[in-house]
Amino acid sequence: MEKKILLAIVILLSAAYVTEARRKPLIGITTGCSPEEYSKVRRTYGDAVIRSGGIPLLLPQVNGIDEALEVVSRLDGILFTGGEDVDPARYGQSVLNETVNINHHRDTLDFLYAEAALRKGLPILAICRGAQLMNVALGGALFQDLPAEKPSNVAHSQSEQGEVPTHLCIVSRNTLLHRIMEKDTLHVNSFHHQAVSVPSDKVTVSARCDDGVVEAFEIVSRKQWLLAVQFHPEVLVRADDRWLALFKAFIKAAR
């Protein structure tokens, strides 16, 4: 009788393990927002998560770190999306010029979720504004306006459609990004006028544009998996499935 009971327990535990292993990771996605009216985001982010084996969930507007931690505790990963500029006050600067477009409400929410995700060691994929935000959250700083502070022949705010890559970036070997994409160079799209100026001392820069602008950075450790890119792979993937590799690596980490 005892052997039968023990066998039944083993079978139940095995079934629970298999069910958990097959469960698709739940991925929180940050949104554009206003205090009273809306939370919204382009569907390209969720589409890429679904195609890579995850379940996207738009993150709610929370009222403090405790609520953010509660939300994050239910997630398997978090994707920080593109959007407005990060408030320069968060990295010790005053607004440079009229091109700097700040959404203070979104900043508050995104930094709460960044703190919660980092505290929990949740896998993070950060895109465009998301990359800039994570660099600041980790102690780094930004160029507020590339044309004014770091002029270049590269059009970092392209006029072409998002599916069209317009400039080259150079990938450092022995980095997570290089292992995922298996390339020394990548042709990427570009829709930003801000960028990392001082990388956090907690990250490794894994790609730069040929004009020196940081295009990707990462953290890979037992405590944290983070990949941040300045370009928009969730749009590039519409024309080139190879960009799904970034999202699949993220979903794998979230499992």
User: pLDDT, tens digit, for every residue of 17-66?
Assistant: 444 456 899 999 999 998 778 899 999 999 999 999 999 999 999 999 99
> What's the Rg (C-alpha) of the chain?
20
Average pLDDT over residues 226-234: 98
Question: Quick one: which of 133, 140, 141 has its CA closest to 117?
Answer: 133
Which pair of structure tokens corresponds to residue 82? 């593109």
- pLDDT over threshold 90, residue 12: no
- Burial string for 194-232 (b: 16+ CB within 10 Å, else e) reads bbbbebbebbbbbbbbeeebbbbbbbeeeebbbbbbbbb
Residue 55's region, left for phi above 0, alpha for psi from -120 to 50, else beta, is beta
Q: Quick check: 10 pLDDT over 80?
A: no
pLDDT at position 58:
97
Rounded to the nearest angstrom, the gap between the alpha carbon of residue 122 and the centroid of all alpha carbons in its chain is 11
The distance of Cα 63 from the centroid of its chain, to the nearest Å, equals 22
What pLDDT score was predicted for residue 1?
A: 55
pLDDT tens-digit series, residues 63-96: 999 999 999 999 999 999 999 999 999 999 999 9
pLDDT digits (tens, 9 = 90+) for 162-172: 999 999 999 99
Residue 4 has pLDDT above 80, yes or no: no
What was the pLDDT predicted at 46? Answer: 98
Instruction: Please report the pLDDT score of residue 36 as a whole number.
Output: 79
pLDDT for residue 11: 45
Tokens of 95: 């607004």
The per-residue pLDDT for 15 is: 42
Q: How far apart are CA 201 and CA 164, in angstroms?
A: 33
Query: pLDDT at residue 14 above 90?
Result: no
Q: pLDDT of 118-140, one tens digit each?
A: 999 999 999 999 999 999 999 99
Q: What's the residue count for the chain?
A: 255
What is the per-residue pLDDT for 247?
Answer: 98
State residue 238's pLDDT score: 94
Q: Kindly report each contact of residues 145-150 with a partner whose C-beta sits within 8 Å and lies 24 or more positions away, as own/partner.
A: 145/96, 145/97, 145/99, 145/100, 145/193, 145/194, 146/192, 146/193, 146/194, 146/195, 146/213, 147/99, 147/193, 148/96, 148/97, 148/99, 149/96, 149/197, 150/195, 150/197, 150/211, 150/212, 150/213
Q: What is the structure's pLDDT at 246?
A: 98
Grade residue 2 by pLDDT with cuts at 50, 70 and 90.
low
Q: What is the pTM of this model?
A: 0.91
